[in-house]
Amino acid sequence: MELPFAEPYRIKMIEPIRRTTRSEREAWIARAKYNLFNLRSEEVYIDLLTDSGTGAMSSAQWAEIMLGDESYAGASSYYKLKETISELLGMPFLLPAHQGRAAENVLFSALIGVGKEGEGKVVPGNSHFDTTKGHIEFRHAHAIDCTIDEAFDTEIDHPFKGNVDLGKLEKVFMAHPRERIPLCLITITCNSSGGQPVSMANIRETSALCKRYGIPVYFDAARFAENAYFIKLREPGFADKAVKDIVREMFSYVEGCTMSSKKDGIVNIGGFTAFRNEETFRAATSFNIMFEGYNTYGGMAGRDLGALSVGLREACEPDYLSSRIGQVAYLGKALTAAGVPVQKPYGGHAIFIDAKRFLPKLPREEFIAQTLGVELYKEGGLRGVEIGAIMADRDPDTHENRYPALELLRLAIPRRVYTSDHMDYVAAVVINVFERRDAIKRGYRITWEAKLLRHFTVELAPAT
Ligand SMILES: *Cc1c(COP(=O)(O)O)cnc(C)c1O
């Protein structure tokens, strides 16, 4: 008999979570203005809002917390992290930041400019993450999505749906002068298109094309280890390579990266920018000091830098990655078996439910994926997140709602937090709603929204 999948860790400390009643949940979600971000965490039973900063640290990471060096400058914890990043990613220059978007702020200040200096500039790449796009648009520049078309059809089984379409990218290069394209950004894995990986071949070819046009390439590296594992699993020629070697090769094609350490760093807060080139690093340091803190701590406690240096290494361990990717696929398979339309192949950190296929009769103006998210919460205290028209925000020029090709409800799985039993529960909640989907006839309308990144704080009411 083939031995079943099992987590490569055991539980040393527990955190109680409480099941609630349907009537409690209905009252709470109404109070929350039908925005899942407005719920208190005690009101949620299984929290799949995000895999960001929600992972469980290991005993080795907790031990490192106790060794934290809190010196303002030159802390040993900083040097531990710098050595880890230099060894794992091959990037010798490091600027810590308090999270990924802070790293974006630092890198983009150096490369795109500040204030209106970004006007007329474009940043092509595969689907940019929402804060990334926010930081680009905040500088009056534009993010151009050059992801392959296959990414936008949830039924196509393409192994690397995060890939950059080289034809689309070259069109951007031909339409804009070199000085208007400060960088090309490859997000690994591509969060906004479903946690989908980018192949090594695509990274190499994108890098070569950018080199021909003199455009530097950077990674948004939040899930670099998951991306490397998918390359190992799916790309010919990589099956026998160590994840660490795959990671090194991926980074050999780029100039640097921003990283949200709250993902594959397996820490609760943190981020960094890393560079190959000393000159760019120097240009970024003054912004880091101004926005984040001195170069050797950058908004982080020394102990957290230490825990991150351990977490980055653990994230590259094959047993961990196989369990991680395996758990996400386990949930994906349970939903697929019941006919629930989910994005295929399954992503690295989340299962994405295709809300348009789930609720085909709901008009897009009533926010299809958001409606599904609210229903899942009411059904079983499960919290996912909308990646659809609310998150897509309004067009910065026309101020019209943007309706993306996909309306997705993301169930993001925190690292090393939930067991397979929890996944069985999640599948049951989704399947129950799926079975009564025809009774869901109306969605929601917006009653208040912020100017930028509105999904975090939007307020809604049932559509009438
Ligand atoms: C989470 C994330 C970010 C932003 O990082 P924060 O730590 O949340 O600020 C940027 N890019 C990607 C791809 C992400 O997943």
pLDDT, tens digit, 9 for 90 and up, residues 184-194:
999 999 977 77
The pLDDT assigned to 406 comes to 87
455 catalytic per annotation: yes
The pLDDT assigned to 446 comes to 95
CB 131 near ligand 1, within 6 Å: yes
Task: Please provide residue 250's backbone torsions phi and psi, each rounded to the nearest 5 degrees.
Answer: -55, -45
CB 132 near ligand 1, within 6 Å: yes
The pLDDT assigned to 104 comes to 97
Residue of 249, 272, 431, 257 whose CA lies nearest to 342: 431
pTM, entire model: 0.94
The pLDDT assigned to 87 comes to 98
CATH superfamily of 22-51+318-462: Aspartate Aminotransferase, domain 1 (3.90.1150.10)
- When pLDDT is cut at 50, 70 and 90, the band that residue 6 belongs to is confident
The pLDDT assigned to 194 comes to 79
> Is pLDDT of 432 > 80?
yes
The first and second tokens of residue 386, run together, are 């909308």
- Sign of the torsion formed by the C-alpha atoms of 292, 293, 294 and 298: negative
Please tell me if the domain spanning 22-51+318-462 has the same topology as the one spanning 59-314. no
- Sign of the torsion formed by the C-alpha atoms of 272, 278, 284 and 289: positive
240 catalytic per annotation: no
The pLDDT assigned to 257 comes to 98
The pLDDT assigned to 152 comes to 86
The pLDDT assigned to 5 comes to 75
The first and second tokens of residue 419, run together, are 């067991």
Q: What is the CATH number of domain 59-314?
A: 3.40.640.10
The pLDDT assigned to 164 comes to 98
**Considering only CA atoms, which residue is closest to atom 3 of ligand 1?**
100
The CA distance from 380 to 44, in Å, is: 9
Share the mean pLDDT of the chain.
Answer: 96
CB 128 near ligand 1, within 6 Å: no
The pLDDT assigned to 326 comes to 94
The pLDDT assigned to 244 comes to 97
Q: How far is CA 175 from the centre of its chain?
A: 29
Would you kindly state where each structural domain of the chain is located, as residue ranges? Answer: 22-51+318-462, 59-314
The pLDDT assigned to 339 comes to 98
Reported as a single tens digit per residue, the pLDDT across 307-350 is 999 999 999 999 999 999 999 999 999 999 999 999 999 999 99
- Helix runs in 54-139, H state only: 59-66, 76-89, 100-111, 130-138
> Is pLDDT of 115 > 90?
no
Rg of the chain (C-alpha set): 21
b/e per residue 90-112 (b: at least 16 CB within 10 A): bbebbbbbbbbbbbbbbbbbbbb
Reported as a single tens digit per residue, the pLDDT across 436-451 is 999 999 999 999 999 8
Reported as a single tens digit per residue, the pLDDT across 393-425 is 888 888 899 999 889 999 999 999 999 999 999
| CA 355 / ligand 1 centre spacing (Å) | 23
Query: What is the DSSP code (8-state) at residue 302?
Result: H
Type of residue at 354: D
> Is pLDDT of 141 > 90?
yes
Give the mutation target among 54, 105, 127, 131 for probing the ligand 1 site: most ligand atoms within 8 A of CB.
Answer: 131
- When pLDDT is cut at 50, 70 and 90, the band that residue 270 belongs to is very high
